[in-house]
A = this chain, B = another copy of it.
Amino acid sequence: MELLQKRILQDGRVLPSGVVQVDSFLNHMVDPQLLFAMGKDIAEKYKNRRITKVLTIEASGIAIASFVAIALGVPFIFAKKQKSNNLDGAHHTASVYSFTKETEYEIRVAKKLLEPTDSVLIVDDFLAMGSALSGLCTLVKSAGATVTGCAIAIEKAWLKGGETVRETGIPVYSLAKILEIRDGIPLFAEN
């Protein structure tokens, strides 16, 4: 998606660690017009796939999921990362390892929210090693529901997380697929 790729080049910053910092428009401050356009683009891609629910993970997937869900006209769920006193009843859970935060955590979705008849579109801001995406796929399968596809804002393709998911037959659509960082500049795959 040209709009997002241009914005990454204009306002993003690549840290020496390889982190692509997009905190002025995507995952700390958020430009709602950009995300509205991203949501429309993703919805267009999946409009004929009979999506019944969008699923993401707190926190930075929530804004994108909001705009995908409104464009598709379906509810979205955000998987929670911690146990909370407000969550009663049974949950589907999965384990996710965060390479950024160097810690493993549990994600959970209340069982009542996912049904076997659901056709789920998983949405997230970043796809790197694919640990969060795999965890979300596990949650959907635990519910007996179907992962119909995934949509990602920024994929770091060289970390192979997307490849792993695609090999299982699940389509993964990335708005900005970065093939490599060369001299501090992201090089995007052609859409």
Contacts and interface: CB of A to CB of B under 8 A. Distances in A.
B101 A30 contact: no
Nearest to A62: B62
Interface residues of A, number: 47
A143 interface: no
Interface stretch (A21-29, A132-140, A156-164, A178-186): A21-29
Contacts of A28: 77-78, 80, 87, 109-110, 113
Nearest to A55: B29
B29 A75 contact: yes
A131 to B, nearest CB: 15
Nearest to A64: B66
A69 interface: yes
A97 B39 CA distance: 34
A56 to B, nearest CB: 10
A23 B70 contact: no
Contacts of A82: 101
Interface string A75-101: 111101110111110000000000011
A14 to B, nearest CB: 12
A74 B77 CA distance: 25
A173 interface: no
A85 B100 contact: yes
27 contacts: A19-B85, A19-B86, A21-B86, A21-B88, A23-B110, A23-B113, A28-B78, A28-B87, A28-B110, A29-B75, A29-B76, A29-B113, A30-B65, A30-B66, A30-B76, A30-B77, A30-B78, A32-B66, A32-B69, A33-B70, A58-B60, A62-B62, A63-B78, A84-B100, A84-B101, A85-B101, A86-B100
